[in-house]
Structure 1
């Protein structure tokens, strides 16, 4: 209570009216609203997938922080952040203990604390015109995500509003401005909802039509904004050549951090599943693939240094008579270093070192440990990461022969520029190699939602190949097909149409986010000017 506007605890338990000057909602109402905001946002994401609750969560937080002092707004934003991120990121504590989960959840909640403070700060602007509040809400959410996606240690974009809209008409907006524009649309819809509710509850003394105009206009605008998404043209299939692709989900001996504890077991699973596919092709029960995709870490031994591992992959490629994109952990380049890579293995010739992609964005404290000595003082579990993964320097453009692939590995799918760089480099098919053996099905479905957005954003067919699931194909309009189960061994084969075109989002790149985040900064500056003027006015 002491951190959230102590002087507001005795405010009347009624919605604000025009005669109530500029009072915020009482804390006994605002705090439960902040909790409800986080839970509504959580329910919008997979595995729940109730996407209309995302703008509802945005509206609840906006209402709770409106007219607050900065400290109170920050506190309410933090409450929302904890209610959202603690359960959303629960998969991070499955095998590493509670501390990493708690620290990551609190860090992410801190960004929503900044959002809550910013929402309180722009109150003077929000009250000048009815349309200002929705616009400010949208801009501040984009600005908050722009910071969270990049800081610290390269950021952690999990839980962006855009990633909750995989079944929403707003997803189609990704083709125009990528994830930032989808986030803006979701947040501005929430701003319209809170404007309608706030003005409706506070406008009871206005007679006739004028009483309902402040409610009807923003409410109608919220509905219209969702409808606009349906009008954005997106391709249902690619417009280029056809290619038959197989995803091999070989599974692991056991889930957890020691998924590859049995030497070569994961590799053998994927080899055996590929050989079974080859037998089915020979029997005429499956189509001959032009390309086979294995997931991240499908070779749990460096196949470039271990002849036995390389021989087994060659056996699989020769038998299936198609190139295989293999996810492998490669030693080096220096002692004590490793690389998380996708490498093309061709039938007859083996590893094609000219078509090797090294993950550009290793995950801090999971694939490498920054400030290791300090981190060790917090938790000894950092020593589970014996060798630091080193980042690659070039986009994941893999020329596989039948298709040019845009390869991204695991969490990289959450980062806008990592995916876009493959498309501008010539990728015709987006490929996400991932290893979900250390997580659960909720994390896998959250990741698949990101793949769906990327397919729409760049107008490309896409696929996700996981060691344990969920794997599947995604059309350029975001529809999923042949999705596999979790913790199962499955092989799925599908014919896809490639695409070479570029959407408006691909052409614009990061400029929509730059523009929206810049306007958010301008709004904060404008609120500062207005606050200063209000302080110097007499009376």
Structure 2
């Protein structure tokens, strides 16, 4: 038995050329933890984007040539390290249980990634040049699944959302978030394949070239300029008296904050200190009092619209004849004439367990607070709001994370994108994570964009992903900016979900195709939990 002086930190090529051996179990656990930490630090609010490929490479190194169930465990461990801190804002007011359930469910998807990586090990050993491509496909397919299931999915923490300051963000204009994720994961696969090489070879140089091309190459890609015509848009962040779930008990105070801020903007316009806006955008829940049923709220909003002399997109909670049912709406309120019922958007993707309760009788067995969650009815039309001066693509809060919801507004004619959100029940980290999504959407669809929050962070975003006039958190703010009206469609907008579906199909084919190779091999486990491949 040949002894080594030290255990390898990463897989090494065997003398027989049989492929990289799996690392020892304790090393694999350490690599999985480091993978989750790297992925976490790549995302906002840390924004160390260059750690994302490293996180992918570390998980692939931990799981290579291990049994699939071990791969799942290592991926799940990386997911726990990533998602528990990333989603801790969900516990700010709702407590630890929703946070734990959500973070654990998301970690399970990363577990599936580890399982699939381990399963594909024979294919990686047989065709090593394909390893970066396989890793890219696996991560793209994992996110495609996580974006849709269960209960409509929860796409938080995608690799693409870590690339706000990276050259790879430009790829969004050509293939959306899935292409950005594919590029980041492919770079991670190339990094790992390079570390497998113990000497400089043509293949090693190829891996270096792959990593450089997918991470720096996008700097050479052109982006749209957002159009030649501009309109002036104001965003009003009125702030709330106190953060927390009791925000909804402060409804009149919140509405008054936004009315007063808009009236102050009107005074600044009259004094020549600000430009006259063509449109004013208020955040989600800026009028939690239904202005279509409450005359006092309607009068306050009309006073603000008349003062500023421009339509206001109001974030309103609309009641129904059934007291248990509500709608989350972006409602256009015009000067003098009031609400334009033909120009309103009803949120299409309410958040399960927060805005509506799936399986309410079962959930009631877990907690008696289930019935505090009302039943938010989903809309059935894209958020295309024709304000007169411009056509707005409206999405509300978490909807910005979903590819199809944003794309539908552009296909419907949106010239700029607006994200109305209410972060009063969360924290600044969540707001920063959401702003990163807005940055990607602006590039993806070639549209100037904005995010407006009750408490922050609010900002304008250019078609290159650059952030302008970003507000602070838990402060009032009013910002005015000229926005370019986009009139063309990027390749990503035209292609839609087809690149992602192609990646999923190729992943399924690879997972099925490796079965033949695995049948030619038997696996045994040593004391370190390593797998050795032997011909039958």
Aligned partner of 1:17 among 13, 18, 26? 13
Which segment is superposed worse, 421-430 or 527-536? 527-536
- Report the counterpart of residue 397 of structure 1 in structure 2: 384
Q: Secondary structure at the match of 1:530?
A: helix
Alignment match, 2:235? 247
Query: Which is further off, 123-132 or 185-194?
Result: 123-132
Is the CA contact 2:231–2:389 (under 8 Å) kept in the aligned structure 1?
yes
Q: Write out the 4+ residue segments of structure 1 that deviate beyond 4 Å after TM superposition.
A: 535-539
2:301 match: 313
Superposed displacement of residue 130, structure 1: 2.5
1:181 & 1:111 partners in 2: Cα distance? 19
Q: C-alpha displacement at 1:128, in angstroms?
A: 1.6
Moved more, 445-454 or 258-267: 258-267
From 74, 81, 88, the equivalent of 2:72 is: 74
What RMSD over aligned residues (CA atoms) do the two structures have, in Å? 1.6
Distance, in Å, in 1 between the alignment partners of 2:286 and 2:163 is 30
Q: CA deviation at 1:259?
A: 1.1
Instruction: Report deviation, 1:366.
Output: 0.6
| Equivalences for residues 128-139 of structure 1 within 5 A | 128-139=126-137
Say whether the 8 Å CA contact 2:520–2:535 is kept in structure 1. Answer: no
Q: Secondary structure at the match of 1:339?
A: strand
1:368 pairs with 2:356: yes
- Quote how far apart the aligned CAs of 1:302 are: 0.3
- Shifted more, 71-80 versus 324-333: the winner is 324-333
- 1:260-409 pair list within 5 angstroms: 260-332=248-320, 334-385=322-373, 387-409=374-396
Of the three residues 435, 448, 459, the one matched with 1:461 is: 448
Structure 2 contact 232–482 (Cα < 8 Å) conserved: yes
Q: TM-score, normalised by structure 2?
A: 0.95
Contact 1:96 1:381 in 2 (8 A): no
CA contact (8 A) 1:330 1:338 kept: yes
* 1:104-253 equivalent positions in 2, closer than 5 A: 104-200=102-198, 211-235=200-224, 237-253=225-241
Which residue number corresponds to residue 414 of structure 2? 427
Structure 2 alignment gaps of length 5 or more: 524-533
Q: Is the 8 A contact 2:129 2:203 kept in 1?
A: no
Distance 1:284 1:538 in 2: 82
After TM superposition, the structure 1 stretch with the greater mean CA deviation from structure 2, 352-361 or 251-260, is 251-260
Q: Which residue of 2 aligns with 1:5?
A: none
| C-alpha distance 444-538 of structure 1, shift in aligned 2 (>3 A) | closer
Shift of 1:260: 2.6
State how far apart, in whole Å, the 2-side matches of 1:489 and 1:79 are. Answer: 40
Segments of structure 1 that go 5 or more residues without pairing to the other structure are 1-9, 204-210
1:443 aligns with 2:430: yes
Q: TM-score, normalised by structure 1?
A: 0.94
Q: Is the aligned partner of 1:478 residue 2:465?
A: yes
Q: Who is 1:34 aligned against?
A: 32
Of residues 39, 51, 59, the one that matches 1:61 is 59
Bigger shift: residues 35-44 or 528-537: 528-537
What's the CA shift for 1:49?
A: 0.3
- Structure 1 residue 263 displacement after superposition: 4.0
Once the two structures are TM-superposed, the CA of residue 381 in structure 1 deviates from its matched residue by 2.8
Count of equivalent residues: 519
Classify the secondary structure of the residue corresponding to 1:251. Answer: coil
* Deviation readout 1:275-326 (Å, 9 max, x if unpaired): 0100111111111100000000000200000000000000000000000000
Structure 1 residue aligned with 2:480, among 487, 493, 508?
493
On the 8 A contact 1:253/1:260 being kept in 2, the answer is: no
**Correspondent of 1:411 among 386, 394, 398:** 398
Alpha-carbon distance in structure 1 between the residues aligned to 2:462 and 2:319? 35
Contact kept in structure 2, 1:339 and 1:391, CA below 8 Å:
yes
Deviation at 1:140, TM superposition (A): 0.4
